[in-house]
Structure 1
Amino acid sequence: MLPLGPVLAQSLRLLLQRPLGVLALLGQALLVSLASLGLLTGPMQVGIYRVLLGYIREGVWRPEALWGGFSPQALVGGVVFAASSLAAFAVGGPLLEPHPLPGLLGQGVLQLLWFYTFQLMADRALPWPTALRQGWRMLGQGGLGRHLLLAGALEALAFLSTLLPWPPLQLAAYLLLLGWATVVKAVAYAALGYSTA
């Protein structure tokens, strides 16, 4: 079972040890993903998890590993993930503007489905469909209810950042919470005992 308390505590501790490093890593990945119109989302996600898993396991911060996630599988997996995210946003966002709950639920399901996919691609160099299936199995082994609770809490926190009064403050809070959510996913993966095969 996924130990929620220790995972959240360790991820917060890791974020506080390297807040600027995590934010710089995430900022680079977001900028590259946006500049490539989502085409490089997969390689950037794989790179982020290479850096974080190395830091969690070995205590060594190697930000250059961000650029080592380029592969055809990471490219295609990222495009599928980005297209799915866009579809969930389009269906749940503008069409249901006064009622954001369906959009949030759609994003939550999507995040849950892809919860461990990029970690598995980074750690085991799996093709994205295999990583997606194995990630889903990991959710069951770690307790689907615990993962639902964790994914829901992370999505709710990200949504709460939009309620802040000033757009630059919203963006800063969102990036900080996104950084923490990314670290949480890496720590949860490591906590379930998966390692390079």
Structure 2
Amino acid sequence: MLITQSYRALNRALHAGGQFGLYGDKWADQISGLVERYGAVSILDYGCGQGSLGRALGPIVREYDPAISGKDGAPVPADLVVCTDVLEHIEPECLPDVLAHLYALSRTACFVVIATRPAQKLLADGRNAHLIVEDDDFWRERLLEHFTVREWVPLDREFAAVLEPLRGVAALRGLARKLRREWFERRT
């Protein structure tokens, strides 16, 4: 499951105010560089919010956001998947499925930016909008189950990473890493 219906409704309310999901375009220069590096002809903005990245880069960008009508249809794979300021908002129980979804959609590379701090916004139910507040090590461990990390750039209480999807034997190693982590988590 990628998102529960109750959480989708909370996010729809946040997005409806027009003050949430506004700043994907601040990564446009970095993403343009990745388009050139990987020879990407398609980009999927996963969790696109108000669509500022698409406006900055043009028709190469397809948008997906499960909390915005018209952008909530099933996304199709792209050469480059962009997921900025999204993963920390995912319901913890849905995170494994969302990471697997990102992997399945990423043909060549995936660019993520993940905050490691609480958000300034609250959900209507009183919870912090960042449902997962964890450090770089937490995120690296989960991302390595599906991706090779090509770049990891620490920022101010967040990080940016360029990832490449694991294929072949490397994908089996990622699965083994995931199963090992889950086994240890069940034992503790």
TM-score by length of 2: 0.25
Which has more strand, going by share of residues?
Answer: 2
- Work out which structure has the larger RCO, using CA pairs closer than 8 Å and 6 or more positions apart in sequence: 1
TM-score by length of 1: 0.24
Which has more helix, going by share of residues?
Answer: 1
